[in-house]
Structure 1
Amino acid sequence: MLALQQDATNQPAVARDIPTPTPTAGEVLVKLRAAALNHRDVWIQKGQYAGIKLPCTLGADGSGEVAALGDGVREVAVGDAVIIYPGVAWGNNQVAQGRDFRVLGMPDPGVFAEYHATPADYLRPKPAHLDWAQAAALPLAGLTAYRAAFSRAQLQAGERVLVTGIGGGVALTAAQFCAAAGAEVWVTSGEDEKLARALAL
């Protein structure tokens, strides 16, 4: 299969053929239909991310179809449309991640590949109203925004919320989540175009 790999910092990523993973017990092989670029991928490429371990297959966010099942998998079936949860080993504390927490795409193999093997419980059904690209762009930014607004801040309908730096994935997603929850959303940006885009949401 083809995968986009980073061999060294400050160098272009390289598309190369690597072996297609085989799902082990409890794992699922997903055929990627879309993957999303996060600023994290750029930071890794530039050497501006903590604990870089290379080489690696980049990419945290992806959506696709279940292609094969490892032994014991019952949660999904071949052909199911899924979103891949990018957080690995969060831990048992719902408020803060554990010491072993990491994100797909470095050091663990990421989703910038034709196939990705992942534990079955890291998959969620792709919402039918989202296309593949929209679904792929949701997990990392969406979960970060959700946790900030609802797990940490406990946002309630009618409250005011300020989202700074509107224009990035997390900020745009947070503004939409907060507005959908009935909050009064205020945003800031140094660029009129980004403010206009946020107001159009």
Structure 2
Amino acid sequence: MKAIVHAETLGFGGLTYREMEERQPGAGEVSVRLKTAGLNHRDLFVLNRHKPTDPPLIIGSDGAGIVEAVGEGVTGVEVGDEVMINPGLGWQKNSEAPPAGFEVVGLPFHGTFAEKIIVPAENVASKPAYLTWEEAGVLSLAALTAYRALFTRGQVKPGMKVLIPGIGSGVATFLLQFAKAAGAVVYVTSRSKEKNEKALALGADKALDSNADWTEVLEGEKMDLVIECVGAATFNKSLEQLRPGGTIVTFGSSTGDEVSINLRTFFYGQFNLLGSTMGSTEEYHDMLKFIENHQIKPIMDEVYPLSEFSKAFERLEKADQLGKIGFTIG
């Protein structure tokens, strides 16, 4: 089968579109012939985490397709089912943190940028009928990450003021849609005027220039909740916007892993700082119910044939996208 494979060299130079050997599903597994897949920032990070000494790896965490074969003991999933891949492996029930052994499809195990993938049967879910294949293929990782950060960790409630810095990413566009569906007042930021205008069209109540003085623009208005997915470039500006007793949830660090904060300001402000990552299978199915109830769809950016992966990676690396970048397969 054809696949995007990382091997031999760190970084983008290690990627090729090539043939990989197929295998049959084992006990408890299913084989899915993929129709679409989705690109995430995680796929960029994997290029430097997967070492040249490791075996060749099919990357990619998001995908959707049709079940082609089922292994021994599989129930509830049948050949011909239209499904999406839940990329989180080994985290079944909602809990304070993922259990030991939790992994994500695409590293260390083969991922979705291929014509087929084999996953545990518990890691496929029925594709909602209202979603196109392109939408279904890009949804899972970003939507699950947004759902846990906003609902499980952030405990969003109607009327809360929520700030989402960096509105261009797929997760951020889900956060905007989810928070509005939950009845929150939503503020976003971006360096791009075009992205801010699109965010307003999607329902954002206010859009700020990321380079501006947010405190000045907001005229002292404070947030109940900030969902911080940018990292070092915006973290302290985000923290400054919290009301006393407010909460900041962080799950991303694309602009740097380390920040310095004023501890005295933090504890006098009675702030809450929470980490979040992906989510459990239980939350995944809760998220699917939520998006069906509200008919929420991914914001689609560009869709490329899998063989044109270099264009997709370049667009993501430059942060040119608004929403999700997808692949068509086959």
Q: Which amino acid aligns with 1:3?
A: A
What amino acid is the match of 2:91? W
Measured after TM superposition, the shift of residue 104 of structure 1 is: 0.9
1:110, distance to aligned residue in structure 2 (A): 0.4
| Cα shift at 1:102 | 1.7
Q: Percent identity?
A: 45
State the partner residue of 1:31.
33
TM-score for the superposition, normalised by structure 2:
0.58
Partner of 2:188: 187
Aligned to 2:134: 133
Q: Structure 1 residues 131 and 55 mapped into 2: Cα distance closer, same or farther (>3 Å)? A: same
In structure 1, the partner of 2:83 is 82
Unmatched runs of 5 consecutive residues or more in structure 2: 203-330
Query: Structure 2 matches for 1:33-72, cutoff 5 A?
Result: 33-45=35-47, 47=48, 49=49, 53=54, 55-72=56-73
Ranges of 4+ aligned residues in structure 1 off by more than 6 Å: none
Judge which range, 74-83 or 94-103, deviates more.
Answer: 94-103
User: Do the aligned residues in 2 keep the contact of 1:91 with 1:101 (CA within 8 Å)?
Assistant: no
TM-score normalised per structure 1: 0.93
Cα drift, residue 43 of structure 1: 2.2
Partners of 2:2 and 2:130 in 1: CA distance = 29
Select between 172-181 and 12-21 the one with higher mean Cα deviation: 12-21
Asked if 1:17 is matched to 2:46, the reply is: no
Q: Which amino acid aligns with 1:31?
A: R
Q: Separation in 1 of the partners of 2:41 and 2:56? A: 18
Give the number of aligned pairs: 198
Question: What's 1:4 paired with?
Answer: 4
Aligned to 1:145: 146
Residue 160 of structure 1: how far off its partner (Å): 1.5
Distance 2:18 2:138 in 1: 23
Contact in 2 for aligned 1:24/1:71 (Cα 8 Å): yes
Aligned amino acid, residue 82 of structure 1 = V
For the aligned residue pairs, the C-alpha RMSD in angstroms reads 1.5
- What's the CA shift for 1:158? 1.8
Q: Which has the larger radius of gyration?
A: 2
Other-structure match for 1:156: 157
> What CA distance in whole angstroms lies between the structure 2 residues aligned with 1:175 and 1:131?
21
Contact 1:54–1:107 (CA<8 Å) still a contact in 2? no
- Partner SS, residue 138 of structure 1: helix
In 2, Cα distance between the equivalents of 1:195 and 1:172?
Answer: 11
Q: Which runs of 5+ in 1 are unaligned?
A: none
Instruction: Give the CA deviation at 1:92.
Output: 5.1
From the two aligned structures, give the one with the greater helix fraction: 2
Distance across 2 between alignment mates of 1:179 and 1:54: 44
- The Cα shift of 1:90 comes to 2.5
The worse-fitting range, judged by mean Cα deviation, of 93-102 and 157-166 is 93-102
